[in-house]
Amino acid sequence: MPPTASAAPRRTLRIELAPKTLLVALLTIAAVWVLVHLLPVCLVLVAALTLVGALSPLVRRLEERRVGRKGAIAIVFGTAVGLTALLLFLMIPPLIAELKGLAEHEPDLRRGVVEWLQRSPFTSALADEIDHIDYTQLLKSSQADVLAATKRTIEIVAYLAAAIFLALYIMIDRDRLRGAVFAVIPRKHHLRFSHVLLNLETIVGGYIRGQVITCVLMTAFILALLLVCHVPNALAIAVFGGVMDVLPYIGPLLTIAPAVVAAASVSPAIAVVVFGALFCYEEFESRILIPLVYGRALRLPSSVVFFALLVGAALAGIIGALLALPLAAAIVMLIEELRVALPGETEKPEDVATRIKDQQEEHEYEKLAEQAPAEEASAIAVEIAKERKESDGER
């Protein structure tokens, strides 16, 4: 027999983690655990910072007109609260009346929708389902849901009030808070951090103002359209459509469907007119109005917008979906501002010029803020960042 080959020695793969790596991993796991359990608090903080970013430009404009900072904050917050209260006072009573009328006329509206659906063999089954809805069974099964929804609504109102007061305190103590944050950041990063803060303010402020403008215009358009077409409960449907307009992709469907169903109770022709008008307005809003209103505040591809909405809705429902877009825009801005080199990218000549300009500004800042305390140094860094932003905007 031929001699057998000797067996190859086995290799042992040993994985050793350095103490520093293990410590970082444990701290990361702990941080994720804390964030998951403190998600409502994090959302309150994000909402407060969002409100600060939306109102800070108005406060700054009043300060430029020689109004004291505390006086400017009082004027802006007082005006915002007063306008909100006035809007609720003018809208809620007729809205409640229309909702009561909608509940009273529900059988007639349902009968009209059923008759319209029964005209086509493709929708006759749906018509039968709608015609035989058992409201008593639905009410019995939804009592627990109503209690849960009421509790959730109270929690949301409480968190919203906390976010408003937190935003007020942040704006009042802006200089001290900013100085405290800059004190823990190395001075060589102060200027870049100031650029990030200004860009975040632009993103958040542009997003909030854009949402308000588009929602108000959508509400006004639906209200005028339904009043002209003599559709009942126009105000309730218009307010619902304006609120739903804040949700991209899903919002248009939730905006058009109730209006078309209500118009169908008048006549099929009116339903077609309402659908066509709302469809045209949605196209006008998405292609012309939104780019015009938002400007350069949000520069996100459609795929990023859709993915951000899915992640935000999965983590925190409607509130998460509302905060998803400014957060996604902030992440994209951080990648650009921190000069993060993505795979496959090559440095361009304009990138070299930008880096040289950054180095010159950092050198200038180091000379101006060499002996200054953190609070004064933060003010110098923000001022240099503002001048840079204005010069880039003029180009």
DSSP letters for 161-176: HHHHHHHHHHHHTHHH
Q: What is the DSSP string of 58-88?
A: HHHHHHHTT--HHHHHHHHHHHHHHHHHHHH
Closest to 291 (Cα-Cα) out of 210, 230, 231: 210
In angstroms, rounded to a whole number, what is the distance separating the alpha carbons of residues 263 and 234? Answer: 10
Q: What is the DSSP letter of 289?
A: I
- At 302 the pLDDT is 64
In angstroms, rounded to a whole number, what is the distance separating the alpha carbons of residues 235 and 93? Answer: 11
- 183, part of any domain: yes
- At 6 the pLDDT is 53
Closest to 244 (Cα-Cα) out of 253, 236, 232: 253
- 4, part of any domain: no
* Tokens matching residue 123: 């929708």
- At 394 the pLDDT is 46
Burial environment of residue 28 by CB neighbours within 10 A (0 to 12, 13 to 18, 19 or more): exposed
> What is the model's pTM?
0.65
Residues 6+ apart with CB under 8 A from 314: 320
| Residue 137: CB atoms within 10 Å | 9
Local confidence pLDDT in tens for the 395 residues of the chain: 455 555 556 666 566 666 777 777 788 888 778 777 777 787 788 788 878 878 888 888 888 888 888 888 899 888 988 888 887 777 777 767 766 776 676 677 777 777 777 777 777 777 777 766 665 655 555 566 667 767 777 887 888 888 888 888 888 888 888 888 888 888 777 878 888 888 887 777 777 878 888 888 889 999 999 999 988 878 888 888 888 887 766 677 778 888 887 887 788 888 889 999 999 998 888 777 776 766 556 666 666 777 777 777 777 676 777 777 778 777 877 777 776 555 555 666 666 677 777 777 777 777 777 777 777 877 887 787 777 777 665 44
- 274, part of any domain: yes
Is residue 259 a contact partner of residue 232, using CB atoms and an 8 Å limit? no
* Tokens matching residue 162: 């906390």
- 143, part of any domain: no
Number of domains in the chain: 1
- 21, part of any domain: no
- At 382 the pLDDT is 78
- At 14 the pLDDT is 60
In angstroms, rounded to a whole number, what is the distance separating the alpha carbons of residues 361 and 355? Answer: 10
- At 221 the pLDDT is 92
Is residue 177 a contact partner of residue 61, using CB atoms and an 8 Å limit? no
* Tokens matching residue 56: 């800070």
- 301, part of any domain: yes
Residues 6+ apart with CB under 8 A from 265: 108, 109, 112, 113, 231, 232
Domain ranges, residue 214: 30-133+152-394
Left, alpha or beta for 159 (phi > 0: left; psi -120 to 50: alpha)?
alpha
In angstroms, rounded to a whole number, what is the distance separating the alpha carbons of residues 21 and 141? Answer: 53
Question: Which contiguous run of DSSP H or E holds residue 297?
Answer: none
| Residue 7: CB atoms within 10 Å | 6
Q: What is the DSSP letter of 286?
A: I
- The angle at the Cα of 292, spanning 385 to 234, to the nearest 5 degrees, equals 130
- 335, part of any domain: yes
